[in-house]
Amino acid sequence: MPVLEVRDVTKTFQTEKSKISVLEDVSFSVDKDEFVCLVGPSGCGKSTLLRIVAGLEKADSGQILFHGQPQTSPNPRITMIFQLFGLLPWKTALDNVEIPLEVIGMKRESREEIAKSYLRMVGLEGFENTYPHDLSGGMKQRVGIARALALQPEVLLMDEPFSSLDELTAKTLRTLVMDIWRDPSLPTNTFVMVSHNVEEAVYMADRVIVMSPRPGRIIDEVKVNLPRPRAQYLRDTKYFQCVDDVVAILEKGKQ
């Protein structure tokens, strides 16, 4: 059974004057240990789709199934990292990681210990008491990752997690995310990422799902069969072939 299943999701937004159809009959599923990437032109509703999966928005029709159970509200076993990090600016890095643990009712000592260990894992040892405004963009996203992982979720959703970072930082963080995904000691092993960067998607994902412009529909998907770790294949024709395939589907979707 797939870990996550999206079934016939449709969503429209009501504005003052008109209805905007954002998603139309979107269905796909994600298996255990899979890394899936959603790509599409801007405004195609891929972020909205991710939010529906996270339980932050409600679909007009359709279902989200998690291990076969319908999901309608946020679930600590599915967490998310955000494009603009979504850190609480009035909390230190440590507090930011601790807060979700506090909400699920964990005791102070144990949650502090867990939060510290995850901050260490993302390479922020020594920055526990720093406020977000004193951290660089990359460090903020590291806090965001630590916060999401601290809940020990099964599924990690990522909404364009690297697009507000500079390329060098993004590259380092991509590697970090890949390492986390492949780390067998962590329970988090099913990843869904939204991106508009085709190279990034092909580099990271097992499967790239391509969406059409608004209203967003799934046009096609591309399986990426490159061996991992992929850094050495970045100049390989197979890699470029994959990228070209995705771009071709995107272009086709525009017409």
Partner 1 sequence: MIVVAYWLVMNFVQNPEISSLPYYTFRTLLRITITLGISIAWGVSFGILASTNKTASMILVPFIDLLQSVPILGYFPAVIILLISLFQGSELAIELSAILLLFTSMAWAIFFGVVGAVKGIPVNVMESAQSFGLTGSKYVRHVILPAVVPALVSGATLAWCDGWFFMIAAEYIEYAGTTYWVPGLGSFLAKAAYVYGDITLSAVLLVLITATVVYINFMTWHRLMERATAGTYKPVLKLDLSGVGQLGVIRAIGPRRWLHLGNRVHWPKSLIVASHRLRKYTRQEKAIALVMALSLVFVIVYLIAPQVSPDVIKQGFSSHPADELVNLPSYIALTMGRLGIAYIISLSAALGMGILAAEHKKFAAVFYPIYDIGQAVPILALFPVLFITLSRTFGGTIGLEITSIVMLILDMIWYMFLNIVSAIRNIPSEIREVGKLFGFKGLKRITHVIIPCILPAIVTGSILSWGTGWNTIIFSEYMPYGASTIYLDPASVNQTYVADEIAISLNVSEVNVLHTWQTQVNFNASHLQCINVSEGEFLRRAGEIKFDGGTIDNTSGSIGPINSTLLERGLGVNGSGRLAIFYFRVLRRGNSEITLSEKTKMLDSVLKIIPMSKAYSLPGLGSYLDKTGYLYGNTVLLILLLAIIATLVLLMEALVWRRLLRKFEKYHTEV
> Which residues contribute to the site for partner 1 (CB under 8 A)?
16, 51, 54-56, 74, 76, 79-80, 82-90, 99-100, 103-104, 131-133, 140, 151
Minimum separation from the CB atom of position 99 to partner 1 (A): 6
Half-sphere exposure at residue 53, Cβ-oriented, CA atoms within 13 angstroms? 33
CA 206 centroid distance within chain: 14
Minimum separation from the CB atom of position 132 to partner 1 (A): 5
Based on CB atoms, which residue is closest to partner 1, 68 or 105? 105
Contacts of 113 (CB under 8 A, 6+ apart): none
Based on CB atoms, which residue is closest to partner 1, 141 or 195? 141
> What's the rounded Cα separation, in Å, for the pair 195 and 15?
26
Minimum separation from the CB atom of position 163 to partner 1 (A): 14
Based on CB atoms, which residue is closest to partner 1, 96 or 212? 96
> What's the rounded Cα separation, in Å, for the pair 16 and 59?
20
Based on CB atoms, which residue is closest to partner 1, 102 or 113? 102
- The residues facing 7 across adjacent strands are 63
Based on CB atoms, which residue is closest to partner 1, 16 or 251? 16
Minimum separation from the CB atom of position 123 to partner 1 (A): 20
Strands 218-223 and 78-81, sheet pairing? unpaired
| DSSP 8-state code for residue 34 | -
Based on CB atoms, which residue is closest to partner 1, 92 or 195? 92
Backbone torsions φ then ψ of 7, nearest 5 degrees: -120, 115
Minimum separation from the CB atom of position 77 to partner 1 (A): 12
> What's the rounded Cα separation, in Å, for the pair 30 and 90?
36
Based on CB atoms, which residue is closest to partner 1, 88 or 248? 88
Minimum separation from the CB atom of position 134 to partner 1 (A): 9
> What is residue 136's three-state secondary structure?
coil
> What's the rounded Cα separation, in Å, for the pair 187 and 212?
33
Minimum separation from the CB atom of position 64 to partner 1 (A): 14
| Angle between helix 108-121 and 137-150 (nearest 10) | 130
> CA dist 157 to 11, 81, 195, 206, Å?
19, 6, 11, 15
